[in-house]
Structure 1
Amino acid sequence: MPNDCGLAVTPRMRAILTQPGFLSSNGGGQELRELYSNGSGEFDMTRLSPFGWACCAGLLKAVQKAVQTGTAPPLNGTETPYEFSYATLIVSGAQRVSGNGGNPDALKHEQVLEYLITQGMPVDIPDVVGQTALYHSIVSPEARVDLARILIISGKANINHQSKYGEVALLGVFQLNRVEAADLLMEHGADIDIADGDGLTAREFCSKVGPEITAWNDWDSHKRICIPFSPSNTVAVKPFYNSRHMTVHSTATKTRQIFGLPTGPQNPKQLRASHVPKLSKGGEGKDMIIKIQISLARDNADMLVYDKKREFVCAVRREDGEDVYDRMLAVINTQGVGGKAYFAATLKSEEELIVKIGDVLAEQPF
């Protein structure tokens, strides 16, 4: 087949695509994702039309000449059985092509995208699974936020477009923990409450995927005017150093693994379940920012407390002070995100931790 570029929509893919509505994971969505992804590995850009290849390679002069001479195909057209729009081909080429092959006119993807937008190229044409150029630019393995910005600002891309899976670009970037891309989308009005085919929204997912995304998303609601430590806004906590539990694994990391999302290597220090830091001999204590994590599965369970470097890790038990425990629990439930909250604290000694619970901090990067 000419211009198939190695791609094919199989009969099974077609059968799934004919289902009405958005696809859930168990309703064919996950199978379609895998078929689409596996097929994408066969994509051969050199088999595109001359104009499609010029878009992919970022050949600005060639693209301009084709448009000006009338030899360019309709700019609202698509190529390959995956139905890639020309905006998507520009993005795909920018992500895949490296080296200009001695052609100084190559790799000018930003200029090609800007130029074709001025010539009336639509940017929201979906491919066979409903993903647009904007989605591909920031949710693919090689994110190009610069191109996403052009698509949004110059191309007026629909930020809240939903794919065949019901997924919006924002949910995709949350899943990949891409803060810069999330910032761009939110700045331009992305809706965090649009549900995909599984009923999952970006708002629900962001509290599970890690503090970098959650920090940005909840910054305004968590900013506080700094006020000094005082008896009215602090509690004295007795740390419990539990040596029975050897390691603690990040909820965000586990969630990513369940969803099949990439996770980075973990420092063994970050898995500590208990650790007492070195304190100065002067008795001044150690100031720090701590994270307190409560159990969402069991009432009155020990709270996990630690700082960014895991130099200080302990538990807080209800049996060591019911009033303090209940007060902290209420603050975390009402002002925290995903069963956790961040506070300024001072470790006075191994047996006394002062927590400033009257001032919940913005999410921190740990």
Structure 2
Amino acid sequence: MEVFIGALDAVKERVESGRAPDLTGQETGYKYGYAALALFGAQRLEPNPRSDHVGTLKYLLEHGAPPDVPDVVGYTALHHACMAYPRADIARILLEHGADPNWQDRFGDVALNGAFQNESLDAIEVLMEFGARLDIKDADDYTPGEFFIKCGPRVTAVVQKWKRKRAGESAPLDEKTCTVCRKGGVQLKWCARCHKTWYCSKECQSAPRFLRLSLVAPLTLQAELDWPGHKLECISDSAESTVTLKPAYDGITALLPIAHTTRQLLGHPVERQPARNTRGAQVPRIPPGQTKKMIIKVQVPLSSLMSDLMVYDKKRSFVCQIRKADNPEGYRRVEQVVRTKGVAGAKAYFSAEMKSPDELVVKISEVLPEQAF
């Protein structure tokens, strides 16, 4: 109970006086270890100035309590930290003290699957940072690498970013920082031409190629990318790099966020979705004489009962279908790119420009990194 309520001084007194139980042991009929009990208190009790669950957990781990004590289901504290009421900060502490990110419960599940199910993005980041594997089979021969794609776009974006990082690859939009000064945590605007480069200000976008200290190698001077240099690499619109499509706005009654709806049905805590995320066809508003530039998501048909491409942007200011009959050649080219370069051959993100509600120009020469929508 003292561990559960985070009574650090009382726990210290017991341990240092020799009156504490075996810290490698378990308590209750569920056979919880002491690291798990400290986590449960942090997850479930209201913050109290007299309680210190994080301090209690660290003290126990530093005085002999193992991070990996499986309960009756085989869950360790790390499993519980990544499920409902996720605590990525405590997951990090457990991992820093030797918790196994790939520990399997009695059903073969790893902590990563719980983080996927609950859309615990911070927990996924921590687990991947500490080497969580995507190829571990559970009792049904199912792996996290097969499962994450079903857990929604936000989970997919995080996992795909880490897969690139582990492969020694990177994509321009993986980290949301200014291309020139590397500043993050501020409002950024992307290059309106290619949608794959971010700038924090007009000064950074238009600055000449000044030499500055590299953030990667602080003692090495290097030329940073700016607009004068970037414009040489920014892919221009051409017949080879783009496809012009005619959108259809009828026949879409509503978008169904499958992963979000599934979590609700299974009783997982979920964030409230904006009403726009479920609305149907949406004709974009384009002022006279202007165009609308955006990043779009393109989903190919997932079954033989469907035949149209589904297209929409992050804020659902634009939602449409692309029909093969209206766009025979364009449909073929877009579908081929999504099938070969998209996530699981089902969806992909592109830079696009709407010339009018009936004319959508999609830059298919480069698939953008997965976005959180």
TM-score, normalised on structure 1? 0.78
Contact kept, 8 Å, 1:208 with 1:255, in 2: the verdict is: no
CA RMSD, 1 decimal: 2.0
Contact kept, 8 Å, 2:82 with 2:112, in 1: the verdict is: no
Counterpart secondary structure, 1:355: strand
Cα offset, 1:152, TM superposition: 0.6
**5 Å matches for 1:16-27?**
none
Task: Name the aligned partner's letter for residue 342 of structure 1.
Answer: Y
2-structure distance, mates of 1:78, 1:116: 13
**5 Å matches for 1:194-233?**
194-219=136-161, 220=164, 223=171, 227-231=234-238, 232-233=240-241
Counterpart secondary structure, 1:79: coil
**5 Å matches for 1:344-363?**
344-363=351-370
Cα offset, 1:301, TM superposition: 0.9
CA 1:299–1:325 in 2, change beyond 3 Å: closer, same or farther?
farther
1-structure distance, mates of 2:133, 2:36: 23
2:248 matches 1:248: no
Tell me which moved more, 108-117 or 345-354. 108-117
Structure 2: 5+ residue stretches without partners = 173-195, 198-233
**5 Å matches for 1:163-174?**
163-174=105-116
Task: Name the aligned partner's letter for residue 217 of structure 1.
Answer: V
Cα offset, 1:179, TM superposition: 0.7
1-structure distance, mates of 2:372, 2:135: 24
**1:108-155 alpha-carbon deviations (Å, 9 max, x no partner):** 11122112222121111100110011111221x3222221111110x2
Cα offset, 1:57, TM superposition: 1.5
Instruction: Indicate the residue corresponding to 2:230 in structure 1.
Output: none
Q: 1:318 aligns with which of 319, 324, 332?
A: 324
Q: 2:71 aligns with which of 103, 109, 127?
A: 127
Contact kept, 8 Å, 1:134 with 1:148, in 2: the verdict is: yes
Counterpart secondary structure, 2:311: strand
Contact kept, 8 Å, 1:345 with 1:353, in 2: the verdict is: yes
CA 1:333–1:260 in 2, change beyond 3 Å: closer, same or farther?
farther
Q: 2:134 aligns with which of 192, 207, 214?
A: 192
2-structure distance, mates of 1:99, 1:281: 54
Contact kept, 8 Å, 1:222 with 1:360, in 2: the verdict is: no
Counterpart secondary structure, 1:359: strand
CA 1:295–1:143 in 2, change beyond 3 Å: closer, same or farther?
same
2-structure distance, mates of 1:279, 1:197: 53
Instruction: Indicate the residue corresponding to 1:109 in structure 2.
Output: 53
Counterpart secondary structure, 2:348: strand
Q: 1:292 aligns with which of 291, 298, 314?
A: 298
CA 1:326–1:299 in 2, change beyond 3 Å: closer, same or farther?
farther
2:3 matches 1:58: no
Cα offset, 1:333, TM superposition: 1.0
Counterpart secondary structure, 1:55: coil
Contact kept, 8 Å, 1:300 with 1:318, in 2: the verdict is: no
Contact kept, 8 Å, 2:299 with 2:348, in 1: the verdict is: yes
Cα offset, 1:254, TM superposition: 4.3
Counterpart secondary structure, 1:253: helix
Counterpart secondary structure, 2:294: strand
Counterpart secondary structure, 1:88: helix
Task: Name the aligned partner's letter for residue 363 of structure 2.
Answer: K
Q: 2:244 aligns with which of 236, 239, 242?
A: 236
**1:35-62 alpha-carbon deviations (Å, 9 max, x no partner):** xxxxxxxxxxxxxxxxxx1211111121
Tell me which moved more, 166-175 or 270-279. 270-279
Structure 1: 5+ residue stretches without partners = 1-52
Tell me which moved more, 76-85 or 209-218. 209-218
2-structure distance, mates of 1:189, 1:274: 42
Instruction: Indicate the residue corresponding to 2:104 in structure 1.
Output: 162
Cα offset, 1:332, TM superposition: 0.5
Bigger relative contact order (CA 8 A; separation at least 6) = 1
Between Structure 1 and Structure 2, the one with more helix by share is 1
1-structure distance, mates of 2:102, 2:39: 19
Task: Name the aligned partner's letter for residue 116 of structure 1.
Answer: L
Cα offset, 1:159, TM superposition: 0.7
Task: Name the aligned partner's letter for residue 332 of structure 1.
Answer: V
2-structure distance, mates of 1:85, 1:300: 50
2-structure distance, mates of 1:266, 1:189: 32
Q: 1:137 aligns with which of 36, 60, 81?
A: 81
2-structure distance, mates of 1:222, 1:211: 19
**1:201-227 alpha-carbon deviations (Å, 9 max, x no partner):** 222221121111111111236725663
Tell me which moved more, 337-346 or 222-231. 222-231
**1:221-273 alpha-carbon deviations (Å, 9 max, x no partner):** 6725663332121111111121x332221232344356554444444432233
CA 1:59–1:307 in 2, change beyond 3 Å: closer, same or farther?
same
Instruction: Indicate the residue corresponding to 1:308 in structure 2.
Output: 314
2-structure distance, mates of 1:151, 1:138: 11
CA 1:246–1:88 in 2, change beyond 3 Å: closer, same or farther?
same
Counterpart secondary structure, 1:212: helix
Counterpart secondary structure, 2:367: coil
Contact kept, 8 Å, 2:78 with 2:91, in 1: the verdict is: yes
TM-score, normalised on structure 2? 0.77
2-structure distance, mates of 1:334, 1:293: 13
